[in-house]
Each structure stands twice: as structure tokens, then as C-alpha cells.
Amino acid sequence: MLLIQLLLFCLLFTGLVRLSVLGGAVNGLYFYPKPVQERAIEIGLTDRETMQRKRKRFMIPFLLTLLVVLVLIVGLWNGVRDFRTAYLQSLLFLEVMNWYDGIVIDRLWVGHSKFWILPGTEDLPFVQTWKQVLQKRGILTLIWLVGAAAVAGLVVLIFP
């Protein structure tokens, strides 16, 4: 059952990322490295304020949705009531999501789709190297050790 839940969680993650760029990849400019962002602003694809506004409009509901869904999966669907089990399940979901994002989303989808190439920025690298993916995901692995505790705390608080 956990495997199916992990798959559904990753599909939700992918769907939400796709929603962020419905009108074109420029709507997700905040995902790109700084040099790409600067060039896009310089050539008039957007402005800094619009990019930041879109980032906030996406990231807050995105993170809240993932948090609520994770709490519901662990607490409601799986019926977990103790902190230790809630922590371990939350950690599993957060770590799978972390590495899924780095490998499947960043390296495979973004790295192999012309959709993500912004006109006028073709000469700039926008896909993370394997070294960058490993560094970023390694740091996030440590952060999710704490994040999973917060999720587990919510689970046992909401589902006593």
C-alpha cells in the first residue's frame, strides 16, 4: 500500500508543478537558476515583481497542499496514531519526494523537454548537473529529518 501511496504523492507533486507553468515555462521562472531569471527579466519576458508574486502564489498553496495530503495519508489513510510510526512514514514520503524532484523532475523532465527552454536564454544552463542535484538533495535530506518530525507532530495532534 505504501508504494501506491508514494506513487500517488509523486503524481500529485508532478501535477502541481505542471499547474505552475500552465501558461508557459516563464510562469515558473522562479524555479530557474539566477542567471536565467536575470536574462528573462533583461529581455522582457517578465519582471522581478511578477516573478516573485507568481512564486508566492504557487509555493504557498503547493507546500500547504503537500503537507495536508501527507498528514491525511499518514493519519487518516494509514491510521497511524503514534509519533514514531508517523515520523518514519512522513520521512519516507518526504525523502522520496525530495529525490523524485531532483531526479525525475529536474534531470529527466526539465532536462529532456523543450518546453522548459525559455526563448532568449538558450545559451544559459538551466538544468542542474548531477553534482548540483546530489548536493541539493543531500542538504534537503537533512532538512526533512526535522520536517518529518513536524508532520508527525501534526498527525498525532490531529488524529489522537
Q: What is the Cα–Cα distance from 160 to 85, expressed in whole angstroms?
A: 13
Q: What is the Cα–Cα distance from 152 to 140, expressed in whole angstroms?
A: 18
As a whole number, the mean pLDDT across the chain is 97
Q: What is the pTM of this model?
A: 0.94
Give the start-to-end residue ranges of the domains of the chain: 2-155
Would you place residue 31 in the very low, low, confident or very high pLDDT band (cuts 50, 70, 90)? very high
pLDDT digits (tens, 9 = 90+) for 85-100: 999 999 999 999 999 9
pLDDT digits (tens, 9 = 90+) for 85-140: 999 999 999 999 999 999 999 999 999 999 999 999 999 999 999 999 999 999 99
Sequence-distant (≥ 6) Cβ neighbours of residue 27 within 8 angstroms: 20, 21, 54
